[in-house]
Structure 1
Amino acid sequence: MREGLRATLAVSAGFWCALGEMLRSCAARLRMLGALRKDEHWPARNLGPALRWFSSEKDFCLPNPSWSEDLRHLFHQFMKKCEDGSWTYISEKEMLDLQKKASELSFQNVKPMKKKQFPSTLTRNFQEGLGFEYAMFYNKDERRIVCLFQGGPLLQGFPGLLHGGAIVTMVDYSISILSTKTIGFTMTAYINITYKRPIPIGSVVVINGQVDKIEERKVFLSSSVHSADEKTLYSEATSLFVQLNLEKSET
């Protein structure tokens, strides 16, 4: 009887400890959101004007006030590399045009959402500084892509840390552009990612992607996520992309 009571009390204590930890985590997140609403640098999220609409008039891959010094420094470094033609800057318009054309050619039976319903791609569906801030550069000869990425507070997983889903989203987006520019329009078959270390919110990371081999319509790629100074490895991934069959339309 006493042993059963002790076991029950132990389970109960464990439950309340776990519940307390969860509530503390929720409270910390709420405090952070409250701070964001009071801080002019992180404006409150408003699902009206906060959304970024498809437009060829503005290039969201160019520096904005939310970019850190590290991100600006790396961006200007790679823009310098573009001067001799070895690297090419990929504008927002080029990224969106690739997606739009691939969709139109391969998924003709899918009706696109109206502009008022479909503000932007996932990675641009935030105010400046709150979500995904990035710029990409492509090296045709080396079949490589580099994405400079800074994750904002709305991409938080554990308190103060970038959500793993946000990381793999940017990895997928980067290497999908690389594979498409290598052999034509492609889609993700799989991505296997290994997380080595957590990434603090607001940190700048460098995503390096490269083509390992091509087998008919299959493109095998590898990628890594490093700190801005390249001293810290945050994650590694291998992936397979498949070239779309433009002769057949699928839904």
Structure 2
Amino acid sequence: MGGGRGRRSNPAGDSIPQLCHRTPGVPIDVPVPTPPHVPQPRPPRPHCCVSLQASCSVSPQDLAVPNAGWSAAMCEQYQRLLRCTTNGSWRRIPSYRRGLDHLPEVLQMTVDPGPGPRLFLRNVDAEGAGFEYAIFLHASGRRTRCLCQVGPYLEGHQGFAHGGAIATLVDTTVGTCALAAAKMSAMTAKLSISYLAPVPLGAVVVADSRVEQHEGRKIFLSCQVCDTQRDTLYAEATALFIQVEDNNSPPSPAACPQR
């Protein structure tokens, strides 16, 4: 016979089926029930408690500052925009890996950021490979300016940034402006973009956004993406954001802690 059965002969010459692997006490040809799988609880992720007065052992790292992946043009433009903050007309907004790091009133913060949720623009760890950017907020709270270097991981057509990457840059720039104007949470309701010229990978661009109208919970904005010399207009957009009125709304960027 095939499979797991063999045969042996007894003195009477009868052929007796024999199991190669038989569980003691279980009749032949009766399947052994498989015990149900019991899921093991996951070990808790390490965390520590923090407050406004006490700091955690691991502080959020502000990533909107120069690093080894920034080009000379990116650093030069960053310093130029940073000088505009000395008289109080503009303010640099810190940028962290996670949205919760912008909320100082949160009482628990994960020590190890690990593989958990991240801001979309901060989902690449390699310096210079993805979005390298810094956002500046006007004192009026109705204008934002985003300086961005487009990394090689954002490629769409060979040698140029993916249109979705430019849309993300625009959405982030106008979204920061909308949050500052709303002074509460606001979400994208409509975003319309006209792509006028492809953005080369490695290029340094400036996205300028402003509030055009604020009606109740509706915030209408515009945005232009240009090169740093304002010679090339890569894209222009209009957006509509809606204020989200709930008790868990994050603060506006103007309320975010400075580095």
Question: Per the shorter chain, which TM-score range?
Answer: 0.5 to 0.7
In structure 2, the partner of 1:70 is 73
Aligned residues: 185
Whichever structure has more helix as a proportion of its residues is: 1
Q: Which moves more between the two structures, 78-87 or 88-97? A: 88-97
Task: Tell me the distance in 2 between the aligned counterparts of 1:75 and 1:186.
Answer: 27
> Who is 1:86 aligned against?
89
Q: Which amino acid aligns with 2:246?
A: L
What is the root-mean-square deviation in Å for CA atoms of aligned residues? 2.5
Q: Report the Cα distance in structure 1 between the residues aligned to 2:195 and 2:122, rounded to whole angstroms.
A: 24
- Identity of matched residues, %: 37
Q: Which moved more, 1:56-65 or 1:146-155?
A: 56-65
Per-residue deviation, 1:70: 1.3
Q: Secondary structure at the match of 1:172?
A: helix
Indicate whether 1:243 and 2:243 are aligned: yes
Distance 1:235 1:212, change over 3 A: same
Residue 188 of structure 2 corresponds to residue 185 of structure 1: no
The DSSP-based 3-state class of the residue aligned with 1:82 is coil
TM-score by length of 2: 0.66
**Structure 2 match to 1:59:** 62
Structure 1 residue 115, shift from structure 2 partner: 4.7
* Mapping 1:95-106, distance limit 5 Å: 96-97=99-100
The structural deviation recorded for 1:56 is 3.6
- Whichever of the two has the greater Rg, that structure is 2
User: In structure 2, how many angstroms separate the alpha carbons of the residues matched to 1:124 and 1:134?
Assistant: 10
Q: Which residue of 2 aligns with 1:219?
A: 219
- Is the Cα contact below 8 Å between 1:95 and 1:177 reproduced in 2? no
Q: Which amino acid aligns with 1:69?
A: A
CA apart distance, 1:120: 2.2
Q: Deviations over 1:75-129 (max 9, x none)?
A: 101111100000000011498358769xx9xxxxxxxxx9544152111111111
TM-score, with length taken from structure 1: 0.68
**In 2, distance between residues paired with 1:201 and 1:248?**
38
Structure 2 unaligned regions, length at least 5? 1-57, 107-111, 250-259
Q: CA deviation at 1:65?
A: 1.1
Match of 1:128 in 2: 127
Q: Structure 1: any 5+ residue segments left out of the alignment?
A: 1-54, 105-113
Residue 151 of structure 1 contacts residue 203 of structure 1 at CA under 8 Å; is this kept in 2? yes
Contact map agreement 1:186 1:243 (CA 8 A) in 2: yes
Over residues 182-201 of structure 1, what are the superposed CA-to-partner deviations in whole Å (9 max), with x where a residue is unaligned?
11210000100000000000
Deviation at 1:217, TM superposition (A): 0.4
Pick the structure with more strand per residue. 2
